[in-house]
Structure 1
Amino acid sequence: MRREILVSAMPRESWVVLLEDEKLVEVMLERPDQDRIIGDIFLGRVEAVLPGIQAAFVNIGTEKAGFLHASDLIYDEDSQEENEKGGRRGRPRARKYPPIQDHIRKGQSLLVQVTKEPIGSKGPRVTAQVSLPGRFLVYMPYSENVGVSRRIEDRVQRAKLRQIAKKILPRDSGGIIIRTVSEEVTEKKLEKEFKRLRQRWTKVLASSESQSAPAAVHREAQLISGVIRDLFSDKFEAVRIDSKAIYNEVLEYVKSVDPELRDRVHLHEGQEPLFDKYGVGEEIQRAFERKVHLKSGGHIVIEPTEALVSIDVNTGRFTGKGKKKDPEKTILLTNLDAAREIAK
């Protein structure tokens, strides 16, 4: 499978498109006026603690207070052992968290990270379990876990990476998760990135100690930087960028973290727009429409709400193939067609 990343950067918006065998599979958009905060870390102030729903509202300086559930607090690893032990006949029980009111109080300052953007009348979702993502690993300063991405399936390689992770991680310094792109990475590279993330965490703590809540203490990477950091690997044939400035930034970053990939970073030049050249302009417009027509003749209707995104699948004028039309086959074919379109 041939995979490519297309990046179109303009002053008022940035677009990132993922292609598989020249077909559009994902679109990402970012505008400066959207004030994207997912991944950002704030020094917040607890406005209310609600034992009834085991949650709290934390003022982080946004229009609506952040929602913090009991499951997103930091607990001592030993404090939950009894709750996680097996129940009758050794069956594992559902995890039960200590009462939230025993751990935080109104007016308390708390370091939190945004995990979900605000939508409608709801504020952002936040967690106290802060993590700092790098290219090769994710650093979790409040955890003691050492993990390896599930996408790395080889057992021998997983065991090897886990041993390296434990080796580079000083005692009582947090936890880390080895990311998928680290499958063939050396111990030296992992250690270098860990030290860089640890240093970043030190700066976050220093910033939080010098400010009063609510205040932003760390901003997550913007869309393009995040995509290159998180997705770009040897599994992609190329990254094509239509902005000289962004191209130079990406190239310098790739040279510093994964120099063998630098020849896959390309600057798009010429009069024809990047998305038009690769035939994805019209597909992008279709992806943002409320009603999307399917190749089979059916259609889907997408309705975003505060609680969920509703997708209605309709067979439309598609009634099946051949003289003997089977309703079950018609529904199955329409649903398969819809599933491919919804995944975009």
Structure 2
Amino acid sequence: MSEEILINVTPRETRVAVVENGMLQELHIERASRRGVVGNIYKGRVQRVMPGMQAAFVEIGLDRAAFLHASDILKPALAGEGDDAPPPPGPPPTINSLVHEGQEIVVQVVKDPIGSKGARLTTQLSIPSRYLVFLPHSRVLGVSARIEDEAQRARLKALMASLANGSGQGYIVRTNAEGQPDEALAEDVAYLQRAWGVIRAASASTRVGQRIYEDLALPLRAVRDLMRKDVDKVRVDSREAFEKLTTFANQFMPDLAERIEHYAGERPIFDLYGVEDEILRAMQKEVPLKSGGHLIIDQTEAMTTVDVNTGSFLGQRNLEETVYRTNLEAAQAVARQLRLRNLGGIIIIDFIDMTDDEHRRQVLRTLEKGLLHDHARTSVHEFSPLGLVEMTRKRTTESLERQLCEPCHECGGRGTLKTPETLTYEIFREITRAVRQFEASQLLVIASPRVVTKITEEESAAVAELEEFLGKSIRFQADEQYAQEQYDVVLL
């Protein structure tokens, strides 16, 4: 499999695209006006404690107060025992026993503000490096589940136990550490210990609402988190960013530094790989399949739904085979679209009904296989009695659509508009209401050209009847500035 990372840098926006076998799989965007805050550590103040929610709202200097649940607060009694210690008997501590209003607290953002919700916080801090995640308040020594070789897992766990050296601090070994020499991980441990020393010193001197620690900018973060041995090259179109990335790579991943290239071509790098076209397609609800079928993806506040349709695909044998082939292709497409569109939360997939249990199993396995390359944590459940597949995908940032788009001003985000016919009868009712409330010899209705055309050309008889019924003259005026659902009834 060929994999490349493309980095497009402009003064106010940076975009990172992950391209596998010529197809866009992931897109990450960071804008100067709205940088993500996941991973940042702040000194906050507890603003309000909500016992009914077992949570608190914490002021950390963002536009909205952030949310801290009791389960995300480091329990003082367990701070020295680590996450591998058995939980104490009895009910978990209540939010009132953990924090109080006005308390200063050091917290880390685990989820960006999304929609109307504030950021999600934790006091269980974690600091990532190239190969490790450092857990200063835990004794856990874990290895990424994506490292499947048991010999490698055992080696890495023994090495981390040695490097931790009874410090009472924890580490999680990241996927990138597979096959790395002991010295590379030892260097990461030394770097993380230095970073932790700086954070601890800053925590004591920083004022409430200020940032103590900030994660790397997107280009550096992309190289740290996404660059692996199977990545063929990283191409960046900014000389300044290229130099920063090269310096970073030489320090932290010297064996991969030569794969970073500066792209100096005249044609925009995203155009060269067709990424801009893929981004436009990722904004559409309908996703065509090669077989002739298609997906319909609907993102709502509560969940994302994916509907699979055969479309024009007729198949070669019988209906069951046609459905099976379409669902197999759809499962692969769904896995890619979730990753590309960064869709998270609850996801419901309505595959075309299948009667064969083995076909269902194969479709589910195809979906799970497609999700293996996804960096976000996913959980897929079996087919429900209604033939639906329910799954979740961890959401830490806004979806691609919500980063790039806003609700339609004309329809208020509904995705539909009232028809000219519906608006015609609504206007007739408003005219009647106005005449009964106020004195007027005649009325003027100002509306969009499409609605006025509907009324004057197709409903002229109804207008004449209304004028006779009310005893008033009614004039209509089209205005290009009026949206389809906008109109005014003026009394003259």
Q: TM-score, normalised by structure 2?
A: 0.63
Q: Is 1:300 matched with 2:332? A: no
Secondary structure, in 3 states, of the residue corresponding to 2:38?
coil
Secondary structure, in 3 states, of the residue corresponding to 2:24?
strand
Secondary structure, in 3 states, of the residue corresponding to 1:245?
helix
CA contact (8 A) 1:294 1:300 kept: no
Query: 1:313 aligned to 304, 307, 310, which one?
Result: 307
CA contact (8 A) 2:297 2:305 kept: yes
2:151: which partner in 1?
156
Rate the CA distance shift 1:168–1:209 in 2: closer, same or farther, 3 A.
same
Q: Deviations over 1:224-268 (max 9, x none)?
A: 111101111211111111111111111111111221212211111
2:213: which partner in 1?
218
How far apart are the structure 2 equivalents of 1:315 and 1:328? 9
Report the structure number with the largest CA radius of gyration: 2
Q: How far apart are residue 290 of structure 1 and its match?
A: 4.3
Rate the CA distance shift 1:16–1:313 in 2: closer, same or farther, 3 A.
same
How far apart are the structure 1 equivalents of 2:148 and 2:136? 26
CA contact (8 A) 2:82 2:139 kept: no
Tell me which moved more, 24-33 or 166-175. 166-175
CA contact (8 A) 1:70 1:100 kept: yes
Q: 1:177-192 to 2 correspondence within 5 Å?
A: 177-192=172-187
How far apart are the structure 1 equivalents of 2:329 and 2:180? 43
Q: Is 1:30 matched with 2:30? A: yes
Rate the CA distance shift 1:167–1:82 in 2: closer, same or farther, 3 A.
closer
2:192: which partner in 1?
197
How far apart are the structure 1 equivalents of 2:332 and 2:175? 30
Q: How far apart are residue 188 of structure 1 and its match?
A: 2.2
How far apart are the structure 1 equivalents of 2:83 and 2:155? 30
Query: 2:110 aligned to 110, 115, 119, which one?
Result: 115
Q: Percentage identity across aligned positions? A: 34
1:89: which partner in 2?
none
Tell me which moved more, 188-197 or 108-117. 188-197
Q: 1:59-78 to 2 correspondence within 5 Å?
A: 59-75=59-75, 76=78, 77=81
Rate the CA distance shift 1:68–1:23 in 2: closer, same or farther, 3 A.
same
How far apart are the structure 2 equivalents of 1:80 and 1:70? 19
CA contact (8 A) 1:169 1:175 kept: yes
Rate the CA distance shift 1:32–1:5 in 2: closer, same or farther, 3 A.
same
Secondary structure, in 3 states, of the residue corresponding to 2:4?
strand
* Cα root mean square deviation, aligned: 2.5
Q: How far apart are residue 164 of structure 1 and its match?
A: 1.0
Rate the CA distance shift 1:325–1:171 in 2: closer, same or farther, 3 A.
closer
Unaligned runs of 5+ in 2: 341-492
CA contact (8 A) 1:298 1:315 kept: yes
Q: 1:221-232 to 2 correspondence within 5 Å?
A: 221-232=216-227
Rate the CA distance shift 1:280–1:80 in 2: closer, same or farther, 3 A.
closer
Q: How far apart are residue 160 of structure 1 and its match?
A: 1.1
Secondary structure, in 3 states, of the residue corresponding to 1:34?
coil
2:39: which partner in 1?
39
Query: 2:133 aligned to 138, 145, 148, which one?
Result: 138
How far apart are the structure 1 equivalents of 2:222 and 2:84? 36
Query: 2:94 aligned to 87, 99, 109, which one?
Result: 99
How far apart are the structure 2 equivalents of 1:155 and 1:205? 36
CA contact (8 A) 1:243 1:267 kept: yes
Q: Deviations over 1:174-227 (max 9, x none)?
A: 111111111222222222221211111121121121122122111111211111
Structure possessing the higher relative contact order (Cα contacts under 8 Å, 6 or more residues apart)? 1
Q: Which amino acid aligns with 2:14?
A: S
How far apart are the structure 2 equivalents of 1:338 and 1:191? 41
How far apart are the structure 2 equivalents of 1:12 and 1:80? 44
